[in-house]
Amino acid sequence: MREGQLTFFGGVGKSGGVQVVYGKGNQGLMFDFGVEHSSLLFPKQLTLYLPVGATPGRELRQYVLGGMTAPLVQLYDPDQLGGLDMQKVSQVWGDRQFPSYGQISVFIGHMHTDHMAVLPYAKPGLPVYMNHDAFSLYRGMVAGGHSPDTAAQIQVCEDLSVVDFGEFTMQIIEMDHNATGSAGILIDDGVHKIAYTGDWRRHGKHPERIDRFIRLCRERQVDLLITEGTRLAADPFAEIPRQMTEDELLAGFSDRVSEAEGLVYVQMSPRDLERMANLMAIANKNGREIVMEASQALIWHAANREGLRILKGHPALGADIRVIDATVTNPMTTMPYRTISLEEVAGRKQQYVYFFKFPDLAHLIELETLGDLQGRSHFIQSDYSVKLEHPDVAKYLKTFGITGHSLCNGGHAHPEAIADMIEGIAPKAVITLHSRHPRSQHTRGVYAYHPEKGETATVSSILASATLAGNRA
């Protein structure tokens, strides 16, 4: 029987796009299933401004030929591949030979595009595992038009549940990130234990989840830790600014809403449904009603229809939401909430908080010039892909005298928090992915292994390198 091994297809020396296959015997498991931010293409999503996206109908072919996703034909829908010459694909990878597994499954840690963009092109029936709330969010994203659906067979998992693949087990462990339902995994093949964090942060709403992950990994005596390192700088001694906690961010939002005399605009990612819920509850507490553009309202409604565990009993679930009628562009779409016109909102600016997306910036022309209270609105950017300093946003704020605020804390761990995790788990070796500067990570004496893209390495060889490095020290 072959020993456990790892093949690194993505996320190596790059931000995003982690694609690693762990395999033993005839069974393989890929984690995750997205595309790197710095690839030739970035998957289209509604929150980006003019992205260079793949050609509609040819997305998978271009991802595969561009080396942006693993060259494993058994993962993909053959109709989407369209008879692609796999010999040409092999050339993209330098004609390397990769391990082959009779059975392969996929784990998706969270619903950010750089971790799940390939899901819509998966082979029908491909087993894909994800945390319950990540699945709920995905159903919302499909309903809201933020992602195509998939023919894969999604296996919905509860927190701490264990999946037995025969050759090894995988435990799902909820983490904290700015995408609802984010989770990491712990792989145990009876000889070695490997932990993968996915994307995570220590300054979010649930630092206790990170504490639990560290404790579980230490108790299980994890041999190899694979973590993200998005915020690492080129200079390992660079001062990385600390970011506000989620509670501080929410308090700042409450202050902004309470002091605003006009309309309050909110641009935030609808994939962070817990933050959205908390902002909605704060708005209601301050006497404001909620209006949304249509796609965000559909995401919110469809995700909650699936029963989000994180929002059970949340006061925002009872919020009265109205949808801006100008954003309902498909007459066949059945909206779950009543609509409201731009004119109605403009006439009562002080009554509403408007959750909207960048392409609807033109709404400000009517919302600010109609009705009264001109020049008294507030615009809040909260970890949205288009920032306040974007020239179009800045132009609108200046033209209409709108006060802009940035309330952001990001979804990724501070380098010091990563070092604390490494020290707390005390693995024999650590691999930092999802980072342009993985060698900048301080590992507190733990051996750091730096794989190359396309490399296959046995777990025992990585640990042997750690032992050799320790002997030399």
Is pLDDT of 48 > 50?
no
Low-confidence winner among 27-41, 232-246, 410-424 (lowest mean pLDDT):
27-41
Q: Is residue 370 part of a domain?
A: yes
Asked whether the predicted pLDDT for residue 47 surpasses 70, the reply is no
Cβ(80)–Cβ(4) below 8 Å: no
Residue 228 placed within a domain: yes
Q: Is residue 229 located within the same domain as residue 280?
A: no
Strand ordering across the sheet containing 19-24: 153-157, 127-131, 103-107, 27-31, 19-24, 5-10, 456-458
**What are the structure tokens assigned to 133, written together?**
């709330």
pLDDT band of 49, cuts 50, 70, 90 = very low
193-196, strands of its sheet edge to edge: 162-164, 169-174, 183-188, 193-196, 224-228, 429-433, 447-448
Tokens at residue 57, please? 């109908």
pLDDT digits (tens, 9 = 90+) for 232-280: 999 999 999 999 999 999 999 999 999 999 999 999 999 999 999 999 9
pLDDT in tens, 283-334: 999 999 999 999 999 999 999 999 999 999 999 999 999 999 999 988 888 8
Task: Tell me: do 396 and 264 sit in the same domain.
Answer: yes
| 402 and 419 co-located in one domain | no
Question: What's the Cα-to-Cα distance from 300 to each of 28, 101, 306, rounded to whole Å?
Answer: 34, 38, 10
Name the residue range of residue 169's domain.
5-236+412-472
Q: Looking at the predicted structure, is the pLDDT value of residue 224 above 80?
A: yes
Identify whether the C-beta of residue 275 lies closer than 8 Å to the C-beta of residue 388.
Answer: no
In this prediction, residue 50 has a pLDDT band, given cuts at 50, 70 and 90, of low
Mean pLDDT of 2-26: 94
The pLDDT score that the predictor gives to residue 42 is 56
Domain total of the chain? 2
- CA 288/CA 292 separation, integer angstroms: 13
CA dist., res. 250 & res. 263, Å (int): 18
Residues 337 and 422 in one domain: no
Q: Are residues 53 and 172 in the same domain?
A: yes
Question: CA nearest 385: which of 37, 118, 138, 66?
Answer: 37
Residues 18 and 127 reside in one and the same domain: yes
In a domain, 43, yes or no: yes
What CATH number did the domain enclosing 388 receive?
3.40.50.10710
In a domain, residue 143? The reply is: yes
Q: Are 119 and 33 in contact (CB under 8 A)?
A: yes
End residue of a domain, out of 406, 431, 456: 406
pLDDT per residue as tens digits for the range 352-402: 999 999 989 999 999 999 988 888 999 999 999 899 999 999 999 999 999
Q: Is residue 241 part of a domain?
A: no
For position 372, what pLDDT does the model report?
87
Residue 322 DSSP one-character state = E
What pLDDT does residue 339 have? 97
Virtual torsion, Cα 279, 284, 286, 289, nearest 10 deg: 100
Co-location of 81 and 102 in the same domain: yes
According to DSSP H, which parts of 390-441 are helical? 391-400, 415-425
Which burial class, exposed, middle or buried, applies to 330 when counting CB atoms under 10 A from its CB (0-12, 13-18, 19+)?
exposed
Helix, strand, coil share of the chain (percent; to 5): 35, 20, 45
- The pLDDT mean for the chain works out to 94
Cβ 210 vs Cβ 22: under 8 Å: no
Q: At what angle do helices 246-259 and 273-285 cross, to 10 degrees?
A: 40
Task: State both tokens at 103.
Answer: 């059975």
Q: How far is CA 371 from the centre of its chain?
A: 39
d(CA 82, CA 64): 12
Has residue 364 been placed in a domain? yes
Collapsing DSSP to helix, strand or coil, 432 comes out as: strand
The rounded distance, in Å, linking the Cα atoms of 85 and 374 is 60
Q: What is the CATH number of the domain that holds 416?
A: 3.60.15.10
DSSP sequence for 53-87: PPPTT-HHHHHHHTT-S---GGGB-HHHHTT--HH
Residue 157 CA to its chain's centroid (Å): 18
pLDDT value at 195 more than 70:
yes
Mean pLDDT of 213-230: 98
CA distance 414 to 202: 8
Among 5, 38, 42, CA closest to 20: 5
Q: Indicate if the pLDDT at residue 436 is higher than 70.
A: yes
Does residue 130 belong to any structural domain of this protein? yes
- Could you give the percent of the chain with pLDDT greater than 90? 89
Q: Which tens digit of pLDDT belongs to each residue from 87-111?
A: 999 999 999 999 999 999 999 999 9
pLDDT greater than 70 at residue 138: yes
pLDDT tier at 43, thresholds 50, 70, 90: low
Do 39 and 63 lie in one domain? The reply is yes
Instruction: Look up residue 206 and give its two tokens.
Output: 């649930």
143 SS3 class: helix
Identify whether residues 59 and 117 lie together within a single domain.
yes
Residue in the structure block whose two tokens are 């080129």: 234
Same domain, 381 and 292: yes
Which pLDDT band holds residue 343 (cuts at 50, 70, 90)?
very high
If asked whether residues 195 and 212 sit together in one domain, one would say yes
Q: 220-229, 408-417, 461-470: which range is least confident on average?
A: 461-470
Q: What is the DSSP letter of 45?
A: -
44 and 115 fall within a common domain: yes
Residue 417 lies in a domain: yes
Confidence class for position 46, pLDDT limits 50, 70, 90: very low
Q: How far apart are CA 192 and CA 427, in angstroms?
A: 11
pLDDT digits (tens, 9 = 90+) for 162-178: 999 999 999 999 999 99
